[in-house]
A and B are shown apart, each in its own frame.
Chain A
């Protein structure tokens, strides 16, 4: 586009800006405005999350057992490290350190791939256990921790005495029953008993999990897959953008006066990290 570049000695200065600072400032305001739209974009998902969690805390507590805290935590670490390298890359660009820039951008991209790889493992494990979003949801044995994964993550809904009377209880009582059982469990655990050796761990099809809770478990996974999925799409977009900038960095496009794209992409990347910082405790760390 012939009219895009009007300043001979500065190949990346667009004709309608007066100088490189003018261009940088405009781009910076633009990317912040874009991040605002991203925040509002995610807000819908957070709103759905807040509503369903506030209205059905027991569903979230139970369903969250299916998520693998360890994997989530590793992914958090990966993303935070990539945030560091992204911020470092900006510093490299500002100081004109070409090699450092290339190295840091590459590490950031590798981390992004690592994140997606772990996500892939997590997702396929979920699908394997029948934990699909929506209509295909059909939890199989082991879906909520149960035997397969040890029991640190499982929740007992009932004590044996209650189990016997469960059939006669009215469904309406189920809610409160679940709650007291949970409190009991908390008590047991507080006494140093982490659940080992208990027989009444809630299995994937425990008849004593209140029917109302069971019916809503799939909503949790709807929300879980939408939130992490949309986040994952953002990671993929980040990979594309950072990859493109990596090629430009190799070609030596960036200088201490022209490094806007690196800065803006890093800002985007930090936002992706920021969203994950909330997603992780909201989805994985529910007790």
Chain B
């Protein structure tokens, strides 16, 4: 099916709001706790994830304040170990990995397909409760002995030396892992089986391509994390002798197991972010996305290639020379699909009528920061430089540029982009923009100095440092505070919109994907009939309408064939 005819004119404007929508059509605690509605599950995820982000943020603040000056300020070294571990573990497992897929994806993915729900609504709810149980285990960890192994749980420290609550924490991560697997499984089947008439693979919005790639990695990599952690628990409790060298085991084997999951996991974090950015860039350039197929295929190739590079985390962990050579070489190739995306976004911006709304500011920030993060990844992939840079602040800066500058910024961009759809409210554009710019400045101030101090030898995970590094640490802490102010303003902006915000039109940004065709917020069943899918980036299909203060289908416009 190449040409789809839309009824030539639709003089009646599409419905913009409904009295009964998915948020208010039923009431009471149980109507949420037992809901099978993907949108409600998405919102519950959003709340949980935001709280985790806040918790992780408090730990981050504690780290940075401690490092403001040399010497110990307000904690001892052992506490410091706990704080950075909990910061990393909470941010990675509770926030970033589920962040975009489970919170934004859950709300948006079926809507984008014009479907009534994901393929397995019960599994979806189950995955939410697994997330909650994982979070509960983290809280338990916090209130028992804490955790000081680093988010990576390296053996033999984690199995035989630490007296912190490794078992609770790993059991929590195990559940979070299965939560992530079930989300991925659900999305994979939904994308395969629930596409509306007319939506061939090459008319699939790029967000869905990204989610598809993510689902592949979630299915293939996360189970290995599960078994790794089970073996870790067995090693800790029984001492089976697989990972602990004193018992005949091999700690390097543990690192292989862990990174076989965790390198793909960094792409589980970034691929959804790229997916969000593709949507935002196209919508706010008011232009057809450039290189649709390249962006789509690069998502899948990132997903597959990401399984072949895990050894680059072990270059100096006594990995053999042969293996380091192989892994280093393959690591270079994975930068290619990432770069393909960046170039295609740039080409989309070129000669577009770029609108600098809040989501777009985050997307542009993403492009800038992810590029820096990705390029410094290449420095680390070079064997000779990694020997120097490994376990320094250079690595810390690298992964914060990709995870915070990349994933967090894209998450925030997506949050603003779909906020009107999810909540039915418009936020204040001015304060949204101020928050975005503040966060961008604060972030760079916080993390750019870390590249410099890292390359000068400041090791990571140290509670104290010599006076040489004081300037950089001070800049970094200052930047963190500015970033915090930006995020606080963001939270204020969004929360305020819930109470005082204008009603959102169905399509405030002029996007051409299907989720904008239903009212904001959508009704319980999303669509009465699956809408016809056409080219998701044909921006001419919609035009501005003064009366509804949003975009409506252009009268008489026939979609172009692709």
Contact = CB atoms under 8 A, between A and B. Distances in A.
Interface of A: 1, 3-4, 14-16, 22, 25-26, 29-30, 33-34, 36-38, 40-45, 47-48, 51-52, 132-136, 215-216, 218-219, 222-223, 225-226, 230
The 10 A-B pairs at the shortest CB distance, nearest first, are namely A222-B240, A134-B238, A44-B227, A16-B116, A41-B223, A135-B239, A40-B223, A134-B239, A16-B117, A26-B193
B195 to A, nearest CB: 12
Contacts of B524: 3
A42 B193 CA distance: 28
B36 interface: yes
B234 A25 contact: no
A30 B119 contact: yes
A136 B234 CA distance: 13
B480 to A, nearest CB: 37
A33 B223 contact: no
A34 to B, nearest CB: 6
Contacts of A226: 230-231, 234, 240
14 contacts: A3-B37, A34-B185, A37-B185, A38-B223, A40-B221, A44-B224, A48-B242, A51-B253, A133-B238, A133-B240, A134-B235, A134-B238, A134-B247, A222-B234
B501 interface: no
Nearest to A212: B248
Contacts of B293: none
Contact of A41 (B36, B226, B241): B226
A159 B371 CA distance: 67
Contacts of A4: 36, 121-122
B253 A230 contact: no
Contacts of B525: 15
Select the residue from A16, A216, A218, A230 with max chain B CB neighbours within 10 A.
A16
Contact of B189 (A30, A37, A132): A30
Contacts of A222: 234, 238, 240-242
A136 B238 contact: yes
Contacts of A15: 116-117, 525
Given A14-B121, A25-B193, A222-B240, A30 B220 contact: no
Contact of A218 (B36, B116, B248): B248
A203 B123 CA distance: 53
Interface of B: 34, 36-37, 115-117, 119-123, 181, 185-186, 188-189, 192-194, 219-224, 226-228, 230-231, 234-235, 237-242, 247-250, 253, 257, 524-525
Select the residue from B37, B189, B194, B524 with max chain A CB neighbours within 10 A.
B189
B224 A41 contact: yes
Given A33-B185, A34-B185, A40 B224 contact: yes
Contacts of B123: 30
B222 A134 contact: no
A216 B249 CA distance: 9
A37 B181 contact: yes
Nearest to B38: A16
A22 B193 contact: yes
Contacts of B239: 134-135
